[in-house]
Amino acid sequence: MPTPAEQESLRTRLAQARRLLALAQSGLHYATSPFDTERYTEIASIAHHQLAEMASMQTGDVAALFAFETGYANPKLDVRCAVFNPSGQILLVREAVDGLWSLPGGWADVGVSPAENAAKEAREESGYTVNVVRLLAVWDMLKHGHPPSVFHIWKLVFLGEIVRAGEIAGAETDAVQFFDIDDLPALSQGRILPEQIRRLDVLRNNSGVEFD
pLDDT at 63 over 70: no
**What's the mean pLDDT when you consider all of the chain?**
89
**Rounded Cα distance, 48 and 55, in Å:** 10
**More confident call, 13 vs 130:** 130
Per-residue pLDDT tens over the stretch 28-40: 888 898 888 888 8
Determine the average pLDDT of the residues in 164-181. 92
**More confident call, 97 vs 149:** 97
Q: Map out the domains of the chain as residue ranges.
A: 4-65, 76-211
Number of neighbours of residue 183 by Cβ within 10 angstroms = 7
Per-residue pLDDT tens over the stretch 176-212: 999 999 999 999 999 999 999 999 999 999 988 999 9
Number of H helices, E strands in the chain: 5, 8
Kindly give the residue spans of alpha helices, DSSP state H, lying in 56-113.
59-65
**Rounded Cα distance, 18 and 52, in Å:** 11
Helix axes of 4-30 and 34-55: crossing angle, nearest 10 degrees: 160
The superfamily (CATH) of domain 76-211 is Nucleoside Triphosphate Pyrophosphohydrolase (3.90.79.10)
pLDDT at 99 over 90: yes
- Kindly indicate the confidence band of residue 144, based on its pLDDT and cuts at 50, 70 and 90: very high
